[in-house]
Structure 1
Amino acid sequence: MLDMGFGPNFEKIVNHPTMHPKGIRRVCMCSATFPDEVQALAATYMEDHIFVTTGIVGGPNPDVEQLFFQCSKRDKRAKLIEVLQDLGDAKTIVFVESKKTADFVASFFCKNNLQVS
């Protein structure tokens, strides 16, 4: 979020008079990707920070099954519904690019009687 324009908002929060100073406050930042520029920016908000990775950086987690379906843009929604219906009641995470897209997909799921949380 820092590299998506939320830096000023975060800056306002950490510099608020009621916020504990760096070194006393606790900050935890988690991300599937953590480019060098974002790591450097995050370090400005943390003291003695630790960068933890799991698995091979940039590699798939061996505990996660990844499937790839090639389809046209106009067929994406139908294919997603098909895949989710094939999974039945299995809990599933659908990753999308933005909150706006997540809201759209959640609405689409509801219209197609798929439970969303």
Structure 2
Amino acid sequence: MNIAFILSIIASIILGCGPQKYPAEIVNSPSGKYQIKATINTDESDKTKYLCVQLHLLDAQGKELSQLQSSASYTMKWAIGWMEKDDIVILYSSDIGTYAYKIENNTLEKIKTTDVIIKRGEQLKKLKYE
């Protein structure tokens, strides 16, 4: 067999078995003052949070202001976004439901979920998956 062929097969196997990538999702707030970034927790030390969505509140320049670990599983359908006119973060998750967070002192504070918030979560899911 050709050595180049064998090396290309070995390289394909090695590259194909590397760690899976989870690209971050970033969405600007309606006011333009903030961004919300969703990443996936790949730290296996806490199995209850492994592969769950993390929310990072950023300022307009991309500097992280705070972080929140959710229980929304990456392996289920999930979506992030904002209320259309307010700087309220919406996290839709098919496994834990819809959550909303307002910004207080540059941190995400959970607020009561209303029918309007649930409807917005459904819209965000449709935008992402349909």
TM-score range normalised by the length of the shorter chain: under 0.3
Higher strand proportion? 2
Higher relative contact order (CA 8 A, sep 6+): 2
TM-score by length of 1: 0.22
TM-score by length of 2: 0.20
